[in-house]
Amino acid sequence: MIEYITPSNIDDRVLARAVRLLENGALVALPTDTSWSIVCSLKSPAGIKKLRQISTQRDEQHFTLLCSNISQFGEVCSIDNTRFRLIKRLTPGPYVFILTTLHGTEKILDIRRREVGVRIPDYPVPIRLIETLQHPLYSITAKKSLTGDNEPADKEEDELFESGWELEDIEGLDLILDSGEERERIFSTILDMTTEEIKILRKGAGLWPV
């Protein structure tokens, strides 16, 4: 279930195995530039359904598209020049941008709203996997509540994982890509760009205003 990897030099065979699993509806856990994420293929309805089933959140705002470049944003979202320039300045990095979806995206993602969160992590593991898969990943943040741990956390960050082996108790995971390094327990900053005025929905690792 765990594949140990070197982020700067990931074995192509491990990436190929992860891609095969994702294409067949699997869920993969991986480290990002913030905390750990659980992902499925954007083009796998079975994977999206499975991801939604294990999530404790029903609000689509808790689901994010992980991309390897800004051009992938434009395949699912509407971006004007002003927002494009700002996103280009802040990526890659610990920011989630809430954007208005293009017609048809809601059906693909099985969502009820016309907005979706997108981001480009500043970490090689998700980027290499997306490049190998050749399309974005749909993701949620890995939290201890997914393991059935109902102990209340003192801080929201306490819900996050540090090490890959901790995620083994999450039912439904098919693979964990583990760098062997502890990750910081931090969230990304969420920026709502669906209206004329950009609003911060959550203050995290990314600075705002910039």
Higher pLDDT, 57 or 167: 167
What mean pLDDT comes out for the span 30-42? Answer: 96
Q: Express each pLDDT in 158-200 by its tens digit.
A: 999 999 999 999 999 999 999 999 998 999 999 999 999 999 9
Whole-number Å distance between alpha carbons of 94 and 86: 14
In CATH, what is the architecture of 2-202?
Answer: Alpha-Beta Complex (3.90)
Contacting residues for 172 by C-beta, under 8 A, at least 6 apart: 27, 50, 53, 54
Q: Please choose, from the candidates 100, 126, 94, the residue with its C-alpha nearest in 3D space to the C-alpha of residue 28.
A: 126
Q: What is the pTM of this model?
A: 0.94
Q: Please choose, from the candidates 157, 136, 149, 154, the residue with its C-alpha nearest in 3D space to the C-alpha of residue 202.
A: 157
Q: Express each pLDDT in 126-165 by its tens digit.
A: 999 999 999 999 999 999 999 877 676 778 999 999 999 9
